Amino acid sequence: MVRHGAFAYTWDLVGDPSAAARFADLGIDTVTLQAAYHSVRATTAWHPAHRIVHANHAAAYFRIRPERWRGLRPLAPNWAVDDGDRFGTASAALTAVGLRTEAWVVLTHSSVLGRSAPQYAVINAYDEVMSYALCPAQAAVRDYALTTVQEICEQYDVPALMLEACGWLGFEHASQHEKTAGADLSACARDLLSLCVCPACAERLGLDVLQLKADLRRIVDRELQEGVRAGTSLAEALGSERAEAIYRHRREVISGLVREAASLAGDRDLLLMATDDPQVTGPDVGVELAGFEPAPAAYVLKCWDDEEPAIARMKAAAARTEVPLVANVNAVGEHSSELPALAARLVAAGASEVRYYHAGLASPARQAAIRAAVQEVT
Q: State the residues that interact with Zn ion by CB under 5 A.
A: 135, 137, 196, 198, 201
DSSP category for residue 208: -
Question: Which whole-number Å values give the CA distances from 35 to 73, 160, 355, in the listed order?
Answer: 14, 12, 16
> Cα separation of 133 and 117, whole Å?
11
Given a contact cutoff of 8 angstroms between Cβ atoms, the answer to whether 54 and 41 are in contact is yes
CB of residue 187 to Zn ion, shortest distance in Å: 21
**Listed residue (110, 150, 372) closest to 268, CA to CA:** 150
Residue number, 250 or 371, with CB nearest to Zn ion: 250
> Cα separation of 346 and 329, whole Å?
9
CB of residue 200 to Zn ion, shortest distance in Å: 5
> Cα separation of 246 and 207, whole Å?
9
CB of residue 287 to Zn ion, shortest distance in Å: 17
Residue number, 93 or 201, with CB nearest to Zn ion: 201
CB of residue 171 to Zn ion, shortest distance in Å: 14
Residue number, 21 or 214, with CB nearest to Zn ion: 214
Residue number, 137 or 343, with CB nearest to Zn ion: 137
| Secondary structure in 3-state letters for 286-323 | ECCCCCCCCCCCEEEEEECCCHHHHHHHHHHHHHHCCC
DSSP category for residue 59: E
Given a contact cutoff of 8 angstroms between Cβ atoms, the answer to whether 20 and 99 are in contact is yes
CB of residue 286 to Zn ion, shortest distance in Å: 15
Q: Is the dihedral of CA 239, 240, 246, 250 positive or negative?
A: positive
Residue number, 85 or 172, with CB nearest to Zn ion: 172
Bridge partners of 134, per DSSP, are 121
Amino acid at residue number 235: A
CB of residue 36 to Zn ion, shortest distance in Å: 20
CB of residue 267 to Zn ion, shortest distance in Å: 32
CB of residue 274 to Zn ion, shortest distance in Å: 20
CB of residue 294 to Zn ion, shortest distance in Å: 22
Sequence-distant (≥ 6) Cβ neighbours of residue 376 within 8 angstroms: 340, 343, 344
CB of residue 227 to Zn ion, shortest distance in Å: 29
Backbone angles phi, psi at 302, to 5 degrees: -75, 130
Residue number, 280 or 359, with CB nearest to Zn ion: 280
SS3 label, residue 37: strand
SS3 label, residue 367: helix
Burial class (CB in 10 A: 0-12, 13-18, 19+), 247: middle
Residue number, 8 or 137, with CB nearest to Zn ion: 137
In DSSP notation, 332-352 reads TSTTGGGHHHHHHHHHHHT-S
Residue number, 196 or 311, with CB nearest to Zn ion: 196
> Cα separation of 5 and 237, whole Å?
41
SS3 label, residue 34: strand
Residue number, 107 or 137, with CB nearest to Zn ion: 137
Residue number, 101 or 110, with CB nearest to Zn ion: 110
